[in-house]
Amino acid sequence: MTEPEEVRRIGLENVVVADSEISYIDGAAPELLYRGVDVLDLAEHSSYEETAYLLWNGKLPTQDDLDEFEKELAERRGLSRGVEEIVVHAHDDAVPMDVLRTALSAVPIYGDSGDSDREAALSVLAKTPTILAALQRSRQGDEPVEPREDLSSAENFLYMTSGDEPREEEADVLDTVLLLHADHGLNASTFTSRVISSTESNVYSAVSGAVGALKGPLHGGANQDVMEMLLEIRDGDQDVETYLANKLERGERVPGFGHRVYSEMDPRATVLKDMSERISEATDAPWYGLIEDVVSYLEEEKNLSEKGISPNVDLYSGSVYYSLGVPIDFFVPMFAFGRSAGWTAQIQEQKSDNRLVRPRANYTGRHGVEYVPIEERQKVEQ
């Protein structure tokens, strides 16, 4: 029997599948809150570690709380020999998200998982930047750099990648980008993590599944697509208008626009837009100017704002990562780096009041098909 149209939600669009206190999104306002705190306030005043604590605990930490949380992370940043071997021996053309997924899933195999879900979540949060930095060093033919206990997550990533003391300005930029990506409701990867958690599987399985979901280009790859588009424009022989006109004529989508939730500009994008502008001016880079040319052309030709389509977070985040020296194929892993705070918060919330996630499909197949013994079946011409 076919369900009435009004109750069918293909892709679970607008279907409420969980109660959560972690993040709130109002796509029309637009507004994004972490545990009730506006993400714009956090971007201006907070840090990634403080935001992770907020997502996990439902309140902003005292200084003593934050010091203890940062100490717990610092104690877990190092990789066991087994996990490091997986990372540094990855093939040169291995996809970074595949390496991250495999390395995280291997953490408990080498006896470094912790005795509780919280300890496992701390380990994921602490080790993700170490894994990514070790992979980048290995691809460059360099030995991994050990993390330092006196540096934050953002500072450690920059330090472990380059081997040099990170510049304060760069660390602040990366810290804010990570914070802005920390959580965003029940997107595909977060929902995946909660589905896996609902089976009472462990934290590493849930996060590995989330990484796999984020790897898909419809979820996590748009910032990489944007940067590749900007490089094509810069290095090509066409101006922005001609490039975009040809792209649209071929039926190709322009990345960095639109969102399943927001009808107005994503509040995270407003922060990253300002950041991209400042960095482009400071470094005399063309990225922000090219982005604005893309926005202007599409607005004039397609009237995007009238259709409720606005620039999204991916339009600006790629240029910010690029300015920090992050390789383009690391953009999605950097997304995972930031989102690990939200994934682990959501996993812990799911486990605190668990119910197995078990949706059903609307069956559209045949009924009453007769079984025919194999010797009586006629070969069907292909």
Instruction: Give me 160's structure tokens.
Output: 């472990």
DSSP SS3 for 278: helix
Contact 310, 257 (CB under 8 A): yes
DSSP SS3 for 87: helix
Q: Give Rg (Cα) of the chain.
A: 23
The pLDDT-based confidence of 334 (bands split at 50, 70, 90) is very high
Q: 38, 219, 293, 329: which is the annotated catalytic residue?
A: 219
- Say how far apart CA 364 and CA 224 lie, in whole Å: 37
Name beta bridge partners: 25. Answer: 32
Q: How much is the average pLDDT of 368-374? A: 94
Across 41-45, 155-159, 312-316, least confident range: 312-316
- Say how far apart CA 203 and CA 193 lie, in whole Å: 9
Residue 56 pLDDT greater than 90, yes or no: yes
Amino acid 8: pLDDT? 56
Residue 373 pLDDT greater than 90, yes or no: yes
Q: How much is the average pLDDT of 229-252? A: 93
The pLDDT-based confidence of 176 (bands split at 50, 70, 90) is very high
CATH number for the domain formed by residue range(s) 222-323: 1.10.230.10
Contact 214, 347 (CB under 8 A): no
- Say how far apart CA 91 and CA 328 lie, in whole Å: 18
Q: What residue has token string 């980008």?
A: 177
User: Is residue 184 flagged as an active site residue?
Assistant: no
Residue 30: asked if its preceding bond is cis (omega within 30°), the reply is yes
Q: What is the pLDDT of residues 132-168, one digit of tens each?
A: 999 999 999 999 999 999 999 999 999 999 999 999 9
The pLDDT-based confidence of 382 (bands split at 50, 70, 90) is very low
User: Is residue 259 flagged as an active site residue?
Assistant: yes
Q: 314, 329, 353, 367: which is the annotated catalytic residue?
A: 314
Contact 233, 290 (CB under 8 A): yes
Across 7-16, 227-236, 319-328, 335-344, least confident range: 7-16
- Say how far apart CA 21 and CA 349 lie, in whole Å: 9
Q: 259, 266, 284, 367: which is the annotated catalytic residue?
A: 259
Contact 180, 338 (CB under 8 A): yes
CATH number for the domain formed by residue range(s) 23-218+330-352: 1.10.580.10
Strand duo 23-26 + 37-38: pairing: unpaired
Across the chain, mean pLDDT equals 92
Residues 6+ apart with CB under 8 A from 141: none
Q: What residue ranges do the domains of the chain occupy?
A: 23-218+330-352, 222-323
Closest to 63 (Cα-Cα) out of 73, 55, 75, 53: 53
How far does Cα 117 stand from its chain's mean position?
21
User: Is residue 367 flagged as an active site residue?
Assistant: no
